Each structure stands twice: as structure tokens, then as C-alpha cells.
Amino acid sequence: MSTAEAFARAKAEGRSALVGYLPAGFPDLEGSVTALRAMVDAGCDVIEVGLPYSDPVMDGPTIQAAAQQALEAGTRTIDVLRTVEAVAATGVPTVVMTYWNPVSRYGVERFAKDLASAGGAGLITPDLVPDEADTWVGVADEHGLDKVFLVAPSSTDERLRMTAQACRGFVYATAVMGVTGAREASSDLAGPLVSRTRAVTDLPVGVGLGVSNGDQAAEVAAFADGVIVGSAFVRRLLDAGTDRQAGIAALGELTRDLAAGVRRA
């Protein structure tokens, strides 16, 4: 299933899609696969596998801590691709969320080929803008991979249009200004940003940054095609520490709460 099909299925059910994120290799390689599969089982419609990076300038402390743990455990790009393969085997579309530098180092053509071979659906590239992405766009098109770029409340109408036109799969709308992290309230900038983005594209619009419970998911799902959750999932595993069973149980509980939220919006 592609991300477009996952969003379309959710829409047909009268709800938003739930998109869940965890870094590969956190809390370890096997643990990240188990955790991501648990999120699928509990109701995630699309999975984002994070590629741990040593300079995560756009991530808040929660995701930074998880990425650092994965890096210290020796997680490599090939391990991320293996994680994608294991999760994509569930039938849920699986994309990689990554800074551009690791892809460039790995080799753009090689990465696209290996991601497609692993069953990956595409890439979310938070620090790559479409006007600097000609190489990626070309190889992504060649391998049928989604190209998910970010729009923000500060994006001009011209930038929104250009970014959305470059996307395939969905458009990632960052609901708040600043780094990633769960928040007590969702941003009042999110709704207007989704409306502005929909004015320039027919692609689904997923909203990320800040959602941490079912009530917030319902609030965002009232106006967005997808609710993207990352830091809240990571926090559950961090809080569980070495108790892996408790961590998986907490992930399942959170996913079910979020899945119920997107359904009651």
C-alpha cells in the first residue's frame, strides 16, 4: 500500500490518517522493529522510520536523546533500511524521515534503489527544499518513491505552491514554529496553514509537531488529512527505560488513544 492509498482509505472512513514516528535503532535495532510493529498493530496508518543523525538541529531534546542512543548502539543507514523492510512487510506504508546529509553520503541513487528494494514508500526530508532537490526528485521519480517536503506557517503562498507541487504522497505541514516536541496545546497556526496548502494542491496534508494524546489528535484531525506524532511515542519508550515490555505496552496504549482521537474528530 502507498501513502496515498493509506490517506485515501482513512478519508473513505471519514477520518484522518494516523502517522507514527520512531528512530531506527531505538532503543536498539530489534527493539525499534518490535515497537514500530506494535504501533502498526494498535492503529497507525503510516509509519515514519527516523534515520539517526549526529546533528539533528530541527529536533527537540526527546528525539535527540533517542537518536543519540541509536547512534551509540552503532545504528547505520543499512540498519535503517532493514528496519523499513521489516515494518513495510506488515503492509503499512513506511517512509524514512531523514536529514539530507546521510542520504548524500550513502549515495542518492543507491539510497533510492535500496529504499525501494526494501519496500519503502519514500522520504520525508525536513532540511531539503524542492529548489535544491533536483537530484533527489529525479531518482525518486525513477523508483516511484514519495517526495515529502515541509511547509510552515512562515511559508509564502509562492513557496507553498512550489513545495506542494514538488511533493508526492502527501505534504508535511509543521504546525508550530521551532523544533520538534510534544506540547500541551496544538498551535492555532495549524488550521490556516492547512487551508492555505489545500488551496494549491489536491494532495493530503499531514500536520506534525506537538500532538501527544487523543484529544489533541482529534483537534488536529478536525482540519487535517493526517495527524503526525513522533516525540510522544519516543517519550513513552524513554520513560520505560530498560523495561522493554512496559515500553511496548505504553506505545500500544498511546497509539490506541491517538487512533481513537482521529476517529472521533
Query: How many angstroms from the chain centroid is the CA of residue 25?
Result: 16
Determine how β-strand 205-208 pairs with β-strand 150-151.
Answer: unpaired
Kindly name the residue from 5, 55, 59, 243 that is annotated as catalytic.
Answer: 59
Distance CA 4, CA 93 (A): 9
Is residue 145 within 8 Å of residue 116, measured between CB atoms?
A: yes
Can you give the three-state secondary structure of 169-238, one letter per residue?
CCEEEECCCCCCCCCCCCCCCHHHHHHHHHCCCCCCEEEECCCCCHHHHHHHHCCCCEEEECHHHHHHHH
Distance CA 210, CA 212 (A): 6
87 Cβ contact partners less than 8 Å away, ≥ 6 residues apart: 33, 36, 37, 40, 47, 49, 94
Distance CA 167, CA 232 (A): 26
**3-class secondary structure, 248:** helix
Active site residue 48: yes
Distance CA 103, CA 137 (A): 13
Q: Cα dist. 61→72, 113, 179, 183, 241 in Å?
A: 16, 32, 9, 13, 16
Active site residue 157: no
Kindly name the residue from 45, 48, 79, 146 that is annotated as catalytic.
Answer: 48
Report the candidate in 130, 153, 129, 253 with the shortest Cα–Cα distance to residue 210.
153
- Would you please indicate which residues are annotated as catalytic (active-site) residues? 48, 59
